A and B are shown apart, each in its own frame.
Chain A
């Protein structure tokens, strides 16, 4: 039985695609057959973050319109086994995402994948609504900043009222908070909302805290999901997050201020 997970946030630029790429890669690394779908029709970027932009031939919309079959459109990741990418179309607009079409493609993917990760576009328009409609679980990516928290709350409202599970009175979509771009020392100084503040306002369970990190930009430059950057702080945060999603109980890291050791202070280090 495949699980459909939407990565959503409402606000743009908070780390949805970064999270989708690393989350899907992490699931595949752990042996689960995983596909990650870009729902940002017209503004696709998952292909760049995954480093497969030059291998896109057919896309999600082609499959919906029966212009290509899934096997033609799915891109197999070259680094991690069990990982596939379904890119968005760059030339159409989001109206091309019909509920019937999306459902048909998802049902077909369910036959061969264990996890289907849906990378939502920003906003609450058609693309975002389609990305979350069929979800069983949701990763709500939030930054510790007022507009992001407010938009996340709005998305939680939409998950609770406009997803298929909500419409059919099924068990609600399981919501997880991913707090990204967190800076513990700024939160400690009172210059940034703390993890606890955000949890108190949104009232959902915390899946992971991803620290603000230069590794995220660097890995995106290279087209490598940051989870593959061994030893990077953001990469290990995503790695923990995937393990927690799969049921491991791990303590949260990057939440409190780390005292730097002498060597770290002398030589830097992330």
Chain B
């Protein structure tokens, strides 16, 4: 068993370049904080959006996801709300 464990669970050897890239991505994103206006309004936006949505449909706090992404010069605000199946109709009526 031990032999097989060793054999199968050995992590694939990662190149040092891949390690470098991952480390850089993390450190660079962290350091860019001040550079691209950090979306510090996101929590408030999320709360207010949730309040609006809740007027019509009952959704749980965890069912709403707000994500701000950057694609070149373009900022994309992604809003993802999972509606519950039954209550969807009740709420809309």
By a beta-carbon cutoff of 8 Å, the part of chain A in contact with chain B is 145-146, 149-150, 153-154, 157, 160-161, 187, 189-194, 197, 200-201, 203
Contact = CB atoms under 8 A, between A and B. Distances in A.
B26 to A, nearest CB: 10
Contact of B23 (A146, A161, A189, A191): A146
B15 interface: yes
Contact of B17 (A153, A160, A193): A193
Interface of B, helix, strand, loop or mixed by DSSP: helix
Contacts of A203: 72
B35 A150 contact: no
Contacts of B74: none
Nearest to A149: B24
Q: Which of A160, A187, A193, A203 has the most CB of B within 10 A?
A: A193
Q: Which of A150, A160, A187 has the most CB of B within 10 A?
A: A150
A190 B15 contact: yes
B24 A201 contact: yes
Contacts of B72: 203
B28 interface: yes
Interface string B27-45: 1100110110000000000
A191 B16 contact: yes
A191 B15 contact: yes
Nearest to B34: A157
